[in-house]
């Protein structure tokens, strides 16, 4: 699970959960692998993100490095910034761990990089 995916994930499909966002990450195994950098792609993704959620997620798994706490001005032309965001969004990946619903504490396991978001009959 990349942090870009995490930025959109919610547990609100569960019965009784109203927001279910953001999900807390307990990471047991994190992998960082190189992905082709496309500055245009990253600058178009940035306005679609919940930046605080991204930053906190990265911080919680110790992968924030020197990415700024807030979006810099004129980020479209700041290759250095875009590269840092690129790394956090696309290169960092949680392979094993769990996601935790902020309202109920329900845990969703992540294995082989796949979050298991299936719900039991009594949870829907």
For residue 22, cis peptide bond before it (omega within 30 degrees of 0): yes
User: Per-residue string for binding with other proteins, 61-100, x by CB under 8 A?
Assistant: ----------------------------------------
d(Cα 75, Cα 49) in Å, to the nearest integer? 14
Helix (H, G, I), strand (E, B) or coil at 61: coil
What residues from 21 to 60 belong to the interface with other proteins (CB under 8 A)? 21, 38, 40-45, 48
Which three-class secondary structure state does DSSP give residue 91?
Answer: helix
Grouping H, G, I as helix, E, B as strand and the rest as coil, residue 65 is coil
Nearer to other proteins, 34 or 74 (CB): 34
Q: Classify residue 23 as exposed, middle or buried by CB count within 10 Å of its CB (0-12, 13-18, 19+).
A: buried
Nearer residue to other proteins within complex by CB, 16 or 66: 16
Considering the complex, what minimum distance in angstroms separates the CB of residue 26 from other proteins? 17
Residue whose CB is less far from other proteins, 1 or 67:
1
Binding flag, residue 102, other proteins (CB under 8 A): no
By three-state DSSP, how is residue 120 classified?
Answer: coil
Binding site for other proteins (CB under 8 A): 1-2, 4-5, 8-13, 21, 38, 40-45, 48, 112-119, 121, 124
């Amino acid at each position: 699970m990349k942090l870009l995916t995490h930025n959109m994930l919610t547990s609100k499909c569960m019965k009784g959960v109203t927001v279910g966002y953001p999900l807390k990450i307990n990471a047991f195994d994190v992998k960082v692998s190189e992905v082709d950098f496309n500055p245009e792609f990253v600058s178009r993704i940035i306005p679609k993100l919940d930046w605080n959620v991204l930053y906190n997620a990265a911080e919680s798994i110790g992968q924030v490095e020197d990415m700024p706490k807030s979006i810099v001005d004129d980020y479209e032309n700041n290759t250095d910034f875009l590269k840092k965001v690129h790394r956090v969004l696309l290169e960092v990946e949680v392979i094993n761990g769990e996601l935790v619903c902020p309202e109920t504490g329900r845990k969703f396991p992540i294995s082989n990089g796949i979050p298991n978001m299936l719900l039991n009959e009594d949870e829907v």
